[in-house]
Amino acid sequence: MYYLGIDVGSVSTDLVIMDEENKILDQLYLKTKGNPIEAVKDGLRQLGRKYQNDEIAGVGTTGSGRTLAAAVAGADAVKNEITAHGVAAATFDPEIRTIIEIGGQDSKIILLRDGVITDFAMNTVCAAGTGSFLDRQAERLGMEIGEMGGYALRAENPVRIAGRCAVFAESDIIHKQQLGCTMEDIIGGMSKALVRNYLSNVAKGKEIIPKVCFQGGVAANSGIRRALEESLGCEILVPEYHKVMGAYGAAVLARELIGEGNKKTRFKGFEAGYDDIRTETFECADCSNHCEVVILRSGGKQIGCFSDRCGKYQTNTADS
């Protein structure tokens, strides 16, 4: 039997298929493109060409769009990304003590002790220390995002880039270009700036103890990895499936939940990827909160509801 994990973020939507031994058998890394419903459906359609519904024993969802993914696919475990990433790292290597996770729009630090999360911090204020900033600079510099790490490793004299703000950092990069600095030294400096920003902002006040695990899409950047190793003075582990660790953790959580209670999964089947899912929004005036309620419907039936603080519209969902 297999377990499905889904991680819906602002930049990417990741799906994994995992077996009962916590081994990843399949993975998808899809661009969310501002439409998480379609991203989840696309993932279900792709996986449905390889797997059967009765092979899926449990489903877990995580990420900022976890409740949406749960409504679309049918989930057994719905957990926040801190929990999912922590579980994934502890499953990958029980000796991991610190998780550095840098995604498309946010970055996190998670501290583990004996596989248990003891502390964490997130940064969602500025994009200077995230993957979206690197994507933007790669596009502006006319190169593929995957090439940036190689340029950084070849830097002989990395320049100083102001990394506290995405706008100031870009201005500084342009200024260094106009001074004739090499592309390698500029990207090397940019990598160091991103790491300084992370350590002084997200990781401020946190005790970073080896083993350190680097997760998220930015972990593929060898320049960032080397800058972290130089700053922290220790080896940085990058899991093979670093891009989809959130989805992996969700799948592990689903396996644990189903196994503990010997429950039957709520998975709707891969054919949910072909459902015509629509949303309707209205403002509830029944109290002073004036909640902007979002109803998710498929085939005329309500399958989800969001943003109603009192939970009024979430009752009798299956019969609505």
DSSP calls for 76-139: SEE--HHHHHHHHHHHH-TT--EEEEE-SS-EEEEEEETTEEEEEEEE-S-GGGSHHHHHHHHH
pLDDT-derived band at 207 (thresholds 50, 70, 90) equals very high
Q: Is the pLDDT of residue 7 over 90?
A: yes
Answer with the residue of higher pLDDT: 277 or 262: 277
pLDDT-derived band at 314 (thresholds 50, 70, 90) equals confident
Residue identified by tokens 């190689």 is 150
Q: Is the pLDDT of residue 316 over 50?
A: no
Looking at residue 271, what is its pLDDT?
96
Alpha-carbon distances of 252 from 34, 61, 83, 249, 284, rounded to whole Å: 27, 10, 11, 5, 38
pLDDT-derived band at 320 (thresholds 50, 70, 90) equals very low
Residue identified by tokens 């550095």 is 100
Judge if 2-86+246-274 and 94-239 fold alike in CATH terms. yes
Structure tokens at 260: 């503990």
pLDDT-derived band at 125 (thresholds 50, 70, 90) equals low
Burial label, 117 (beta-carbon count in 10 A; 0-12, 13-18, 19+): middle
User: How far is Cα 58 from Cα 220, in angstroms, rounded to an integer?
Assistant: 29
pLDDT-derived band at 163 (thresholds 50, 70, 90) equals low
Looking at residue 139, what is its pLDDT?
87
Query: Taking residues 110-134, what's their average pLDDT?
Result: 84
CA 122 to chain centre: 12
Alpha-carbon distances of 105 from 108, 132, 149, 189, rounded to whole Å: 11, 6, 19, 21
Mean pLDDT in the chain? 90
Q: Is the pLDDT of residue 183 over 50?
A: yes
pLDDT-derived band at 197 (thresholds 50, 70, 90) equals confident
What is the residue extent of each domain of the chain?
2-86+246-274, 94-239, 277-319
Are 188 and 212 in contact by the 8 Å Cβ rule? The answer is no
Are 194 and 133 in contact by the 8 Å Cβ rule? The answer is yes
Query: Taking residues 90-98, what's their average pLDDT?
Result: 96
Looking at residue 318, what is its pLDDT?
37
Task: Rank 47-61, 132-146, 190-204, 293-307 by mean pLDDT and report only the highest.
Answer: 47-61
CATH architecture of 2-86+246-274: 2-Layer Sandwich (3.30)
Q: Is the pLDDT of residue 317 over 50?
A: no
Residue identified by tokens 């600079």 is 137
Query: Taking residues 46-62, what's their average pLDDT?
Result: 97
| CATH number for the domain formed by residue range(s) 94-239 | 3.30.420.40
pTM of the model as a whole: 0.89
User: How far is Cα 62 from Cα 69, in angstroms, rounded to an integer?
Assistant: 8
Residue identified by tokens 């109290």 is 287
